[in-house]
Copies of this chain bind each other. A is one copy, B any other.
């Protein structure tokens, strides 16, 4: 049984990675186009690589320090000796996911632009294949990491199930730390460059977006790759692995056996297969319009979702037996919830629906009203997702037998998250091709290609926005469920430590330490959002000054006679974002330990619950406000309310600029934050149990 499990999970990993290679080869066969295009693509690639390398150096210091710290704890007997190594592995694979995604994205941007010269469909194929590389790399590496560690812990070191799952949670912490660095660092980079380029280029100098005269234009395109691609890759690696290992851990405490641990792993492996099948449906006839393309993408993701919904029914039967068949409905609830949250997200942020259209209308009375309007759209949009998650939690809990045994119910909640992410291979592919298309548009503009090409890349990009909404639904929904599962894992962990049970005996919500923890936890996403927004603001201001300087000092720049100094902007963004990314991550790692040492384990549980609730709300609020502003601006650009250049458009541009750090830096980072808090709490549980004041 255990051997079969390792083999199957490993096979899933292998399938995903091979499929990624297959797609990568497909992409690389396409031509990069003219020399100018190659040159632009190369400088983007160089900038992105340079950023990541410097980022990894800083991250390495963090991981080094943590490794030593965890090592000392292991020597003192507070942790198993595998923990420091697992921690580092998680970070390594998370970084690798981001790196490979970035690499293929920067190799595909010019190719996509070139393919768009021939037709929309051909462009889609290149971009989507690039997205698939990313999607399947993430799930492949995730499963690889899990299967290797499982193999080592089970067969080489022969640990019992509880020790296995506990050690495996540590590489979740490594992955989460890395993901936070990647999301925050990349997010600050991309938004600083974007805001800087827009504020001086578009608003002050009056030149179009992606104009080669803008010194920040390369930085802007580099940003798409390090933020939206590398950041997202690391982020989703973390989500994927986090959901699986937290389900494994809860499975062990619910069933005490390896089979409950096997289910999430096999479900994920099966999901790879379903995703691969799905990708083959993403193709249309030549000459297809935008609507048909969207249908092609949805067909792929929907098919994969239905496939896994069907296939997991017998899977539950074989793994857990007939008496636990109802647990299947927890998986199903997760899948359905993911789709529904995606649809709710789309309703609030797409310009096909009332909220965003009305938001565009508020620009008629000026900037202040569109800002107020966007904030309230975002806040209002939290209601549906929270109700969906609430129903999903209750269903998953009770169908899994939570009424009889709480740990069974919690296992069900964790499985819902795994179900939601099981087809990540394809959902991430439809999400990740967006930035590639965005970059292709930039290259088309800078290389002076036909307007038609830009229109096609824009069509791909806007298509990507719609599919990204679904992707966001899965990411946010799974984050909430995984965070709840990790909270339960934390409680298990504390109970397994000598003297821990007493520390956690009173988790009653009226216990003041739980309540105080709840308050402080709920505050963390607010503080975290403030820190990251400030970082973007500071970094953007330095870019603004540099771009202004270049416009002033480089003569002939505006006339197109001299080249701007792109590299200095890239360098500036790199430095600024690396400087700014450290603080938020360190806060996220230190706070749970401090809260634990003061308030004790019950306070930590309160903190995790508070951070999960308010973090979920803040993430949805900020992502959707940002999305609605973005699309309201695009809607106005399509010709309503005076169209491009009108006062309404100017107001909408301000909204979009405010929304940028909302949706691409703070919002997604909060998703990671809530899980990292739990992972850190789990890893340092022994210290808190032994040394806390309360």
A-side interface residues toward B, CB under 8 Å?
195, 199, 203, 362, 365-369, 371-373, 375-380, 382-383, 386-387, 389-390, 393-394, 397-398, 402, 406, 409-410, 413, 480, 484, 487-488, 491, 507-516, 518-520, 522-523, 526-527, 529-531, 533-534, 536-537, 540-541, 544, 605-606, 609-610, 613-614, 616-617, 621, 654, 657-658, 661
Contacts and interface: CB of A to CB of B under 8 A. Distances in A.
A365 B544 contact: yes
Contact of A606 (B509, B522, B533): B509
Given A509-B605, A533-B375, A527 B613 contact: no
A199 B516 contact: no
A668 B151 CA distance: 57
A519 B376 contact: no
A584 to B, nearest CB: 12
Q: Is the interface of A mostly helix, strand, loop or mixed?
A: helix
A519 to B, nearest CB: 5
Contacts of A540: 365, 369
Contact of A513 (B373, B394, B534, B621): B394
A480 B366 CA distance: 36
B488 A536 contact: no
13 contacts: A362-B537, A367-B654, A372-B657, A373-B534, A376-B530, A382-B527, A383-B527, A386-B523, A406-B511, A410-B510, A507-B508, A509-B518, A523-B617
Given A393-B515, A522-B617, 14 more contacts: A365-B540, A365-B541, A368-B654, A369-B541, A376-B533, A379-B526, A380-B526, A386-B522, A393-B516, A413-B512, A480-B519, A491-B510, A522-B613, A654-B654
A487 B510 CA distance: 8
B516 A394 contact: yes
Given A509-B606, A617-B526, A520 B390 contact: yes
Question: How many copies of this chain?
Answer: 2
Interface centre among A368, A484, A526 (most CB of B within 10 A): A368
Nearest to A534: B376
Contacts of A484: 515
A406 B480 CA distance: 31
Contacts of A397: 512
Contacts of A610: 613
Q: Which 9 A-B pairs have the closest CB atoms?
A: A368-B657, A379-B530, A380-B530, A376-B530, A522-B613, A376-B533, A379-B526, A390-B516, A397-B512
B522 A514 contact: no
A71 to B, nearest CB: 32
Contacts of A508: 507-509
A339 to B, nearest CB: 19
Given A368-B195, A377-B530, A530-B380, A409 B523 contact: no
Contacts of A487: 510
A228 to B, nearest CB: 19
A495 to B, nearest CB: 12
A398 B371 CA distance: 44
A389 B519 contact: yes
A368 B658 contact: yes
Nearest to A378: B530
A386 B658 contact: no
Nearest to A523: B386
A382 B527 CA distance: 7
Contacts of A514: 509
A315 to B, nearest CB: 24
B519 A390 contact: yes
Contacts of A199: 365-366, 368
